[in-house]
Structure formats: C-alpha cells, structure tokens
Amino acid sequence: MKIGIIISQTDPEVVWNAFRFGNFSLGKQHSVKVFLIGKGVECEDIKDTKFDIKKQMEEFLDGGGKIFACGTCLKMRHKEGSSVCPLSTMQDLMDIVEESDKIISF
C-alpha cells in the first residue's frame, strides 16, 4: 500500500507519533511519503527530552521513507530545505495525494 502522511504542526508528541507510524508502516513493507506543511516544516528543529523526533526521522529515511517540505512554508520562516527536509512544492503534495492509497494527517 502507498501511504501519504501530512504533518502540519510542531507538537513533539504528535510529530513523534506521526514518524513512528511511518516507521511501523515501512516495517510492514508499505511505501510511505511524508509532506511537511505549515508549522510542520519546523519539525526537524524540535528538541524534546521525551520524544526523540530526530531519531524517528532518521529511522524513517533509513527505512526508505521520503520526506518533502513545503517550499513556501519554509521561505515564510526564512528557512531553506535540507537533506532531511528538501524544499518541495504543492505539485509534490498533489502527487503524494494522487498516488497514495491512504492519506493520514497529523
């Protein structure tokens, strides 16, 4: 199954669980793509002692998941894309929606 995950917030527990779900899905041999939009583009910078988001994101990428980050949302925050969260477009989000069997929004 192809799963699309959309993350639009920075609550550490929510973002951590979104990537945990992505990792679990990859472990079940599903194809998973994450699109970060709005505040979600800040998730790479979240530091929390209880929820290790960076570790979950690394496991997600190592497991074959792909992450996209809204370029407009990044620019509004004076941020650039990174190797973890590459600058992406609405077309990338549309592609994820069109090709996915399921979309989950956090």
CATH architecture for the domain at 2-105 = 3-Layer(aba) Sandwich (3.40)
Q: What is the DSSP letter of 45?
A: G
Longest dimension (CA), the chain: 37
- What ranges do the domains of the chain cover? 2-105
For the chain, the average pLDDT equals 96
Residues of the chain with pLDDT under 70: none
Give me the helix-helix angle, 12-27 and 53-62, nearest 10°. Answer: 20
- Helix (H), strand (E) at residue 88: strand 87-88
pLDDT reported for residue 80: 87
pLDDT reported for residue 23: 98
**What's this model's pTM, rounded to 2 decimal places?**
0.95
- In one-letter notation, the amino acid at residue 93 is L
pLDDT reported for residue 84: 84
pLDDT reported for residue 85: 81
Q: 61 near 84, Cβ under 8 Å?
A: yes
pLDDT digits (tens, 9 = 90+) for 44-67: 999 999 999 999 999 999 999 999
Q: What is the DSSP letter of 92?
A: H
Q: 52 near 16, Cβ under 8 Å?
A: yes
